[in-house]
Structures are given as structure tokens and as C-alpha cells.
Amino acid sequence: MPATNLTATGATEWVNLIAGAATPIAVSGTFVGTVAFEVRVSREGVTLPLSRDLFGTPMTFTAPSGMVLVNGMEAAPDAQIRANCTAFTSGTLVVQIGR
């Protein structure tokens, strides 16, 4: 997915994950806001936040960051991910999922 600029609250389009492949995710830009990443196992499935701990605390970013999501071999063939800007004050929040 090419880089997407977010300048208000809202979600990006869903991006398909490839089973067994690593998906790089990058958050950049100069912004005051919060972005969270959400996944769903199937195109019709329930949307769930990515979690960073055993308690299920949603993973959110308020500054430029990056991560790699590894989609295991057992993953559903139509699993998807998206970025959701849950709070926005100013600037441009740039999100890139994939290469």
C-alpha cells in the first residue's frame, strides 16, 4: 500500500495480509493525534485492535514509529489490517502498510 496521509479522524482502507509473510508498518509525519491498527480474520469478520500485552491493551501510536507484523502460515487467506486515526488535533499523520 502506498503511504496514506491522514489529516482527520477515520480509518484507512483494508489491506490484505499474506500468510507466512512479514508486513512492515510505518507511522511518520509531524502530527498531534493517535493512530491504532485493527485486524480482521475475514473480510466479513469482526474488527479487533492489535494488542501489545497479555491484557489486551490496544496498540496505539502518538509519534513516528514502526513495527513488523508477521502473519503466520496458519492465518486465514483473507485476513486484513488497517490504520484507524482515533484522535487528531493537527499536522499530517502518514501511514504505510506493506512494501
pLDDT, tens digit (0-9, with 9 covering 90-100), for 25-46: 999 999 999 999 998 888 888 8
What are the sequence ranges of the domains in the chain?
Answer: 4-97
**pTM for this predicted structure:** 0.85
In the Cβ-directed half-sphere of 74, how many Cα atoms lie within 13 Å?
0
Could you tell me the three cell numbers for 34? 493517535
Q: What integer best gives the mean pLDDT of the chain?
A: 87
3-class state of residue 98 by DSSP = coil
Average pLDDT over residues 45-62: 84
| Dist. CA 17–CA 19, nearest whole Å | 6
Report the CATH architecture of 4-97.
Sandwich (2.60)
pLDDT per residue as tens digits for the range 81-94: 999 999 999 999 99
Residue 29, pLDDT score: 94
Specify the residue for cell string 501511514: 95
